[in-house]
Amino acid sequence: MRIENPSIVSALTALSVELQHGIALSQMTSLGIGGTTDLLRLKRHESIPDLLKLLDANGIPHKFLGGGSNLLVGDGELPFVALQLVRPEPDVVIEGNFAKVDAAADLGRTVTFCAKNDLGGMEGLIGVPGTVGGALRMNAGAYGMQIGSYVREVKLYRAAGRKIEILSGEQVSFEYRHTSFAPDDMMLAVTLELPAKPFKEILQGIRICNEKRRSSQPLGQKSAGCIFKNPPGASAGRMIDELGLKGHSVGDARVSDRHANFFVNAGKASARDMLTLIADVRERVHEAFGVGLENEVVVWNA
């Protein structure tokens, strides 16, 4: 979708929003898949309510883009614009056991920055690509921890009330890869309360998690992490593997040889290829195990 109306363009400038025309979202997603649209880069949280009023008044649909690491975007010209926060400097501020983190901060860099300040707890998230805002929305987790456990306060734009609000951690429910945020809420910043630990000890934990991840996941390849959620008490990856589906492909969309719940873009996969592969694997798992796998990956317009 393109914004060409000069009065909208100048209103965006007045709101400190940078308009980038015709951005291929394939360049902004870890899967390397996605069509084209205008990208609106937001420099000030405070301008978001006015920006969304402007978009609504002009009938311009939008979606919030974080780090693009858990996202499958449809092919071709997209019928919405993408909004993305510009990362401020500094993006993480430490006060005692609290880390105040902008939603646009890189997750891995945040984990290591906190570690250097002797704050641990998030070692499991090392190696998970994406932003802190994306991790928060999905309640990202690995190796027995999840980010939600450390959340004390969230600053967000709430689409329902059309304003910026601050919620305490207790007001949000964090479940396995799911939160009580509405789909059109936009994460802006989070305060984490982290356990004090000596840097050396945290580093050891980080090394162990890094090693486990390297040995079991296809880190160098284009993927969106796990495609399906694990059903209660079972592993989607193990079930897909047991069906002998590693390497199974549709076009360049392929079930990873290393971890069967990672589907990789081995070349020029389209969203259509990836969706066909997802549907095919889901059906085979259902036939064999009677389990309906749910997407973990977020799908836009595909």
Binding site for ligand EPU (CB under 6 A): 142-143, 216, 225-226, 229-230, 235-238, 241, 259-261, 296
**Maximum Cα–Cα distance across the chain:** 57
Q: How far is the CB of 29 from ligand EPU (least distance, A)?
A: 14
Q: Select 113 or 262, whichever has its Cβ closest to ligand EPU.
A: 262
Which one-letter amino acid corresponds to residue 90? P
Residue whose C-alpha is closest to residue 96's, from 168, 195, 167, 190: 195
Q: How far is the CB of 265 from ligand EPU (least distance, A)?
A: 15
Phi, psi of 171 (to 5 degrees): -80, -5
3-state helix vs strand vs coil in the chain, percent to 5: 30, 30, 40
Are 120 and 195 in contact, with CB atoms under 8 Å apart? yes
Q: How far is the CB of 239 from ligand EPU (least distance, A)?
A: 9
| 226 counts as catalytic | yes
Q: How far is the CB of 174 from ligand EPU (least distance, A)?
A: 14
| 296 counts as catalytic | yes
CA gap 104, 57 in Å, rounded: 27
Alpha-carbon distances of 191 from 7, 75, 85, 128, 300, rounded to whole Å: 37, 36, 17, 19, 29
Q: How far is the CB of 225 from ligand EPU (least distance, A)?
A: 3
Are 190 and 153 in contact, with CB atoms under 8 Å apart? yes
Q: Give the active site residue among 177, 258, 272, 284.
A: 177
Contacts of residue 93, Cβ cutoff 8 Å, sequence gap at least 6? 99, 100
Q: Select 143 or 283, whichever has its Cβ closest to ligand EPU.
A: 143
Q: Select 123 or 296, whichever has its Cβ closest to ligand EPU.
A: 296
Q: How far is the CB of 4 from ligand EPU (least distance, A)?
A: 38
Q: Select 51 or 71, whichever has its Cβ closest to ligand EPU.
A: 71
Q: Give the active site residue among 114, 226, 254, 282.
A: 226
> Using CB atoms within 10 A of its CB, is residue 144 exposed (0-12), middle (13-18) or buried (19+)?
exposed
Position closest to ligand EPU via CB? 225
Residue whose C-alpha is closest to residue 133's, from 85, 168, 195, 95: 85
| 95 counts as catalytic | no
As given in the structure block, the two tokens for residue 278 are: 């997802």
Q: Select 84 or 146, whichever has its Cβ closest to ligand EPU.
A: 146
Strand partners, 162: none
Q: Select 26 or 261, whichever has its Cβ closest to ligand EPU.
A: 261
Active-site residues: which are they? 177, 226, 296
